[in-house]
Every structure is written in structure tokens, then in C-alpha cells.
Amino acid sequence: MTKIITFIGAGNMARALISGLVQEDNGNLNIRVADPTESQLEEVKQSWGSVETFTDNSRAIAGADVIVLAVKPQIMKLVCEPLQDDLKNQNSLIISIAAGVNIANLNLWLGGQAMPIVRCMPNTPALVQAGMTGLYANQEVSNTQHELAESILRAVGSTLWLSSEDKLDAVTAVSGSGPAYYFLVMEAMQDAGQKLGLTAEESRLLVLQTAFGAAKLALESSDDAGTLRQRVTSKGGTTEAALKTLIEGGLPDLFEKALKAAENRSVELKNS
């Protein structure tokens, strides 16, 4: 049976999700997008002719099985409140990808009646279908809606369901903000490579392919990262010399502090 999926907001994240969904669709999806900016909608139409576009959010959600709220957190209340009357007459699954907006507030802004809501935290590699999304569903979400939410987010990468909404702060600290930590490591390694005499291009390729290869190897291996690290660290070798410098310099402790700072900030933003 055809499922109607409406995206509110046609920005980067919505387009990443639409791109993944269109690639996987075997004719069962009716994808709609609403955004006040005509130029955003024009880009959507040019990329995916089958996607319906709207400038009126209310018209776009009529009869939708799923409504994906893909606007910035600061305008979420403004976007949700005008949809209250429309939602009284339909049992749409609400999926929010906005950072730091909790289910209690979403529910309140959408009218306060019991409704199925999934809150998720994707990350930017979703833009290249290699994202990592943490999800939490409230009690109103049925098994079918659970699977529907899963299939939408899986279109842009991997998914992890969480047992409590609070864990989304930890997810934000680890995978939500995580790409930036790896970019910092890449940047530092590229600069260090250049200081060893490599050109910028040589250093870039060596660093990026090594990051990609290490992640792929770790994902495909049944061993944990610590075991993989030990396996490539020969006694008295080059890797050991580098790792000793990093560990003695406090890298593991720094990561612990950095992730705690990100989690604290996520809680602060949610409560502000």
C-alpha cells in the first residue's frame, strides 16, 4: 500500500533523506515536501521529479502516514502549532530530526493529545548515505510505525533504537557531534604529514583513505577497536612510538572530557 511521507522543511537533512528514500522506493512511496522558500522546492523538483512540493505545510500533511519535522529547533514551535487542528483528524507518525527538542514539547506544540512520535538524532554523513541515527519512540508508536521510521532513517545509514529519550544526549555527544572530532583528527594528521615533507594533496589522500579503511575494518571485524589497535602495534615499532606519544599526552582522557562537555551542552540546550 502506498505510504505518504511529508517532510516539513526542504533543507540539507530533508534532502539527504529524500535522496535515500527515492533510491530505495519501488513505487510504494508518495513523498511530499513543504518549505516556504520556492528556490528550495525548485531544487527538490529538479532532483526528484516524483516528489510533490508545497509552500503550505497544512496542505502537505493532509492524509500523511508520516510527517518528518526537518526544520531548525528554534522554529519548531512556530511550525508545529498551526498543524494542531489538521492532526486531530489523522493518526500520522511524527518523526522529528531536530536536535534538542524533546518529545514532551513536540507533543504539547502539536496539540497535546496522545500521538505517535519518534525523535531522532542523525549526523551529517547522512548526506552521503553513511549516517548514524539514534532513535527513540514514545509509547503511542505502533510496531508498523516503528518499522516505517526505521526504514526512513536506514535510507541514509545505520540506526540504533534507544531505551530512553535521555540517551539522545549521549548520542548527540558521540555520533551527532562525532564527525567533527574525526575531521579535527584528520586536519591535525594532514598538517603533521605536511610537516614530514608530504604535499597537501599527498597528505590528504593518505589520511582520508586511512580513516576510511580503519573505520571499514573496525565495522567488518568482530574484534573491538582495542584489539585491532594492539594487533597493529608491534613492540618497539613505529605505531607504538606514535601511540605512546598520544596516550602519554592524555588523548583518552581528553575524549572523555570532550564527550562529557558535548552531553552537558545538549542537556542545557534542551532545557533552555
Please report how close the Cβ of residue 116 comes to ligand NAP at its closest, in angstroms: 19
Instruction: Using the rule CB under 6 A, give the single segment among 12-20, 181-189, 193-201, 233-241 that binds ligand NAP.
Output: 12-20
Instruction: Using the rule CB under 6 A, give the single segment among 6-14, 87-95, 154-162, 216-224 that binds ligand NAP.
Output: 6-14
Site string for ligand NAP, 134-173 (x = CB under 6 A): ----------------------------------------
Please report how close the Cβ of residue 141 comes to ligand NAP at its closest, in angstroms: 20
Within 170-209, the residues that bind ligand NAP by CB under 6 A are: 176
Within 80-99, the residues that bind ligand NAP by CB under 6 A are: 97-99
Written in H, E and C, the secondary structure of the chain is CCEEEEEECCCHHHHHHHHHHHHHCCCCEEEEEECCCHHHHHHHHHHCCCCEEECCHHHHHCCCCEEEECCCHHHHHHHHHHHHHHHHCCCCEEEECCCCCCHHHHHHHCCCCCCCEEEEECCHHHHHCCEEEEEEECCCCCHHHHHHHHHHHHCCEEEEECCCCCHHHHHHHHHHCHHHHHHHHHHHHHHHHHHCCCCHHHHHHHHHHHHHHHHHHHHHCCCCHHHHHHHCCCCCCHHHHHHHHHHHCCHHHHHHHHHHHHHHHHHHHHHC
Please report how close the Cβ of residue 207 comes to ligand NAP at its closest, in angstroms: 22
Instruction: Using the rule CB under 6 A, give the single segment among 18-26, 68-76, 198-206, 243-251 that binds ligand NAP.
Output: 68-76
Total number of residues binding ligand NAP (CB under 6 A)?
26
Query: Does 77 contact ligand NAP by CB under 6 A?
Result: no
Within 23-52, the residues that bind ligand NAP by CB under 6 A are: 34-37, 40
